[in-house]
Amino acid sequence: MQLLEQILNGITLGSIYALIAIGYTMVYGVIGMINFAHGEVYMVGAFVGLIVMTILSSIGASLVPVYLIAMLLIAILVSSVLGWSIERVAYRPLRGKHRLIPLISAIGMSFFLQNFMQLSQGPRPFAVKQLIPGSFTVSESFSISYMQILIPVVTLVFMVLFTYFISKTKLGVACRATEQDRRMANLLGINTDTIISVIFVIGASLAAVAGVLVSLYYGTVRDTMGFIIGIKAFTAAVLGGIGSIPGAMLGGFVLGFTESFASAYIGGDYKDIVSFVLLLLILLVLPSGLLGKAEIEKV
């Protein structure tokens, strides 16, 4: 039964990492830069979800679907505006500069958001009410909590919607064209500045969903929660192949399963070591990641 529990934990963790990793890989795929403020967008989404929950509780709302839908929608809205603002403030003015300059700008934005939330909300952790308690009993020794069911289901829904958007809609086709060749997309009449903003908005939306789900799952939020999970989601994106959306999903689940099994069979103190050793070994064999493509430099 321990094996089944770790598989379930791996699916839950992997779902979260995959949602956040997509934001990293989309931004890199389009502009070739890493948005190191992405983890803080996830953290802001979690705080917005908590604030919405508090407001709904104060007015006497009792229906769980109302809480969940309101928390997700408002967190997505706020984080989308934040993602758009990060692109306009920290990236667009520096586009075309040396890659190190927007990288430093993104790190500065990360510290700004973290310190802003610390000053406005306080440095202590905040408890989040258990919105969906209880579990589904499979056998006497094995049960699945409702949150462990909800997280993969919500993740799957958003993954399907996102995949449909990218592959079937006109705007999604424009996103793919911008990713493949931004200059040619401009020549074909695509407003690539708008598309890049859309990419940041989509990534921020997925990070907000992850933030709300994690806050409900672990029952706590705090100002520093975005840093570690942001690093891990970035690791998942690199593991799967930075720039590849299916790779980000795969990398998230590989990392989730690795952490889950390492915690159970080696020890919780070693799970991060095992994860990064796995990343190192995979990149030694496949430098572009599991599903990444080697970049061909045109001379």
Given a cut of 50, the residues of the chain with pLDDT beneath it are 298-299
What pLDDT, on a 0 to 100 scale, did the predictor assign at position 177? 86
Into how many domains does the chain fold? Answer: 1
Burial 212-221 (b: 16+ CB within 10 A, else e): bbbbbbeeeb
What's the DSSP call for residue 293? -
Whether 281 is covered by a domain: the verdict is: no
- Is 114 within 8 Å of 223 (Cβ atoms)? yes
Element (H, E) at 160: helix 146-168
179 belongs to a structural domain: yes
Residue 103 inside a domain? The answer is yes
Residue 34 — φ and ψ, nearest 5°?
-100, 125
Cα–Cα distance, 14 to 9 (Å, whole number) = 8
Q: What digits encode the pLDDT tens for the residues 138-195?
A: 777 778 888 888 888 888 888 888 888 888 888 888 888 888 888 888 888 888 888 8
In a domain, 20, yes or no: yes
- 138 inside domain: yes
Q: What is the pLDDT of residue 299?
A: 44
Instruction: Kindly state the helix (H) or strand (E) to which residue 36 belongs, with its residue range.
Output: none
Q: What is the dihedral of CA 107, 108, 114, 116, to 10 degrees?
A: -160
17 part of a folded domain: yes
With beta carbons less than 8 A apart as the criterion, state whether 18 and 248 touch: yes
Residue 296 is predicted with a pLDDT of 54
**Strand ranges, E, within the chain:** 126-127, 135-139, 142-145, 220-221
Which letter does DSSP use for residue 47 in this model?
Answer: H
This prediction's pTM: 0.89
Question: In the numeric block, which tokens belong to residue 2?
Answer: 């321990």
Residue 43 domain flag: yes
Whether residue 299 is contained in a domain is answered as no
User: Residue 87 sits in which domain range?
Assistant: 2-225
Q: What is d(CA 36, CA 54) in angstroms, rounded to the nearest whole number?
A: 29
pLDDT, position 1:
64
Neighbours of 207 (CB within 10 A): 36
Q: What is the pLDDT of residue 76?
A: 94
> By C-alpha distance, which of 141, 118, 140, 130 is closest to 224?
118
